[in-house]
Amino acid sequence: MIIANDAGIEEHFTTYTIRHSWATITKFMGIPTEVISDGLGHNSLKTTQIHLKGFTNHVLDEANEMVVS
């Protein structure tokens, strides 16, 4: 891919990987799920929530660890 070449990335990746990475990064930055959903072109917010579910659990686990430590 042109973007990968420009960035000096030699590993193979797919557009799915790029989209998933973008969604994860934006979620981590606190961007609302509705905005992420629009950015991904999803017709349903539920679709976006399914894709971000694993990330959300990870964030919650970290938050819980901070609380109980």
The structural domains of the chain, with segments of one domain joined by +, span: 14-68
Q: What is the pLDDT of residues 50-60, one digit of tens each?
A: 888 766 667 77
Region 36-65: what's the mean pLDDT?
83
Written as six digits, the tokens of 17 are 């990987």
Q: What is the pLDDT of residues 5-34, one digit of tens each?
A: 777 878 887 888 888 888 888 988 889 999
CA angle 12, 15, 18 (to 5 degrees): 85
For residue 59, give every residue at least 6 positions away whose Cβ sits within 8 Å of its Cβ, in sequence order, or none: 28
